[in-house]
Amino acid sequence: MKIVVLDGYATNPGDLSWDGLAEFGELGVYDRTPAEMTVEHATGAEILISNKVFLGADEMAALPGLRYIGLQATGVNAVDLDAARYHGIVVSNVPAYSTSSVAQHAFALLLELARGVGRHADLVRQGAWTNCPDFAFQDTPQVELTDKTFGVIGYGDIGRDAARIAAAFGMRILVHTRTPDPVGCPDVNFVELDQLLTESDVVSLHCPLTPQTEALISAERLAMMKTSAYLINTSRGLLIDEEALAQALRNGDIAGAGLDVLSSEPPPADNPLLTAPNCYVTPHLAWATFAARQRLIAEIIENLRAFLAGRPRNQVN
């Protein structure tokens, strides 16, 4: 049996091992697979392990021996699930492997906006403190999070973990989700989206990308937010109307944004958020701690083991 990893570099840049997959058959690993080479790299494979390489109806039709697609991700946007179902191909994802890492990164972005640790450390290196007449200085307003309102849009594993961290900071928690479940959440207030946007000091996005959530954060919804509020997105870039957010930041309609995802990745040089004021963009690395990537590979292996035993787990189609 032939197993092919189509785009393994992001998950394993060399500090982990794919050897666990080799116990199941002949293993081939590509660091990256351009779209035009997908079929060439996958030819003859019964098992594909993929992250962001798109596998659609055309690719599946050209790969008649393909039986299983193991995703190196929780999101399933890179696979045409209807086409996979039509061709009898099982697709499994890996949920919850990066929950803690992503929630922590959301707060890394928030703390940079609120306290500017990185910005001030850079200023110190540049001599600003050495040349300061006072014992202390601040280049940006210093914001304390205690008693501020943290709004969570999407209340899956990551949203819940982010809310837990916010509570540890002494923040009030508002949540908007399709399926409110107050059981076991005594300190969480489930509210409608408009209320969350108008009352929150921080709005943190943790919902999946669907036709209903695309451009969820529009110009109209940005206008509902406080001028002192921060927007955090560690979920999917297309949840935000990027031009509208850039304009809101330029106008001072909100105080800042911390983003780990953009609509196109890597982004074109003219993406307006790359030059928007008080906008911190990190390169989709919230998920990529060593611990999370280690869990991811372990789960990919267990998903494949279960499929081959006739008991698929984490099947999404």
- Point out the residues that are catalytic: 236, 265, 284
- Spatial neighbors of 299 by CB under 8 A, at least 6 apart, are 94, 97, 314
Chain-centroid distance, C-alpha 240? 13
Determine what percent of the chain falls in helix, strand and coil, rounding each to the nearest 5: 35, 15, 50
Which neighbouring-strand residues pair with 173? 150, 188
Return d(Cα 302, Cα 299) in angstroms, integer.
5
Return d(Cα 70, Cα 76) in angstroms, integer.
10
Contact, 299 vs 94, CB < 8 A? yes
Q: How many residues does the chain have?
A: 317
